[in-house]
A and B are shown apart, each in its own frame.
Chain A
Amino acid sequence: DAKTTQPPSMDCAEGRAANLPCNHSTISGNEYVYWYRQIHSQGPQYIIHGLKNNETNEMASLIITEDRKSSTLILPHATLRDTAVYYCIVRFGSSNTGKLIFGQGTTLQVKP
């Protein structure tokens, strides 16, 4: 599975958009980009995933560059409850043996 690189920490003002970047320059054609977040002492929560196209759901938007070497998770209106560690992971999508390997993630601190 391709390795990802994320900034260790970011701050965001409450109510503003939080843009979390992720580099995955070695991603291959069949690998999906997943985003999860983990709030302290809880299991990771699924946010969104994508392959090539931009994706949006009720939680966030995922913007994937045309060359697929990087992506950005956007939380449109961050709240204090969005303070968490955000993990960007790439995984081979069609294989039952694909694994989610977690890096260090980005600690997002949403401030009042």
Chain B
Amino acid sequence: GAVVSQHPSWVICKSGTSVKIECRSLDFQATTMFWYRQFPKQSLMLMATSNEGSKATYEQGVEKDKFLINHASLTLSTLTVTSAHPEDSSFYICSARDAGIRQYFGPGTRLTVT
């Protein structure tokens, strides 16, 4: 099946700093990419949807100035958590969909803000 990678797999940063997470589709072109967040013992929550070359569409309640998403190519999307705070600590998961209807998920990035 199609592969989606994320980097880094885990990151620890200090409060107030910014962190960038990369998401790549390795063997297909992703016309649409998604970013999810998951807190312990909870389900995945969709944060935003991005189409290549377009601005991301954020879900209600997600701060677009805090979670910057760039989808510059058909194989790469990045999520930057700006001015991170401890409450931003979470498991961030990206997902990619090709022109069809199947959607694949990355392995996730564990962010801890100290």
Report A's interface with B, CB cutoff 8 A. 32, 34, 36, 38, 41-46, 49, 87, 91, 93-94, 96-97, 99-105
- C-alpha gap A43/B31 in the complex (Å): 20
* A43/B49 in contact, CB under 8 A: no
* A104/B43 in contact, CB under 8 A: yes
* A43/B105 in contact, CB under 8 A: yes
* A43/B43 in contact, CB under 8 A: no
Measured between C-beta atoms, what is the minimum distance from A103 to chain B in Å? 6
* B51/A96 in contact, CB under 8 A: yes
- C-alpha gap A103/B55 in the complex (Å): 26
- Given the known A-B contacts A32-B101, A103-B43, are A42 and B32 also in contact in the complex, defined by CB atoms under 8 Å? no
Chain B, residue nearest A94 (CB) = B101
- Given the known A-B contacts A43-B107, A44-B93, A46-B103, are A102 and B44 also in contact in the complex, defined by CB atoms under 8 Å? yes
Measured between C-beta atoms, what is the minimum distance from B64 to chain A in Å? 17
* A99/B34 in contact, CB under 8 A: yes
Q: Which residues of B contact A99 (CB under 8 A)?
A: 34, 46, 49
Report B's interface with A, CB cutoff 8 A. 1, 4, 6, 31-32, 34, 36, 43-46, 49, 51, 91, 93, 95, 101-108, 110
* A101/B46 in contact, CB under 8 A: yes
Measured between C-beta atoms, what is the minimum distance from A50 to chain B in Å? 11
Give 26 pairs: A residue, B residue, CB < 8 Å, sorted on A.
Answer: A38-B44, A41-B110, A42-B107, A42-B108, A43-B4, A43-B93, A43-B106, A43-B107, A43-B108, A44-B93, A44-B95, A46-B102, A49-B101, A49-B102, A87-B43, A94-B101, A96-B32, A97-B49, A99-B46, A100-B34, A100-B46, A100-B103, A102-B36, A102-B43, A102-B45, A105-B43
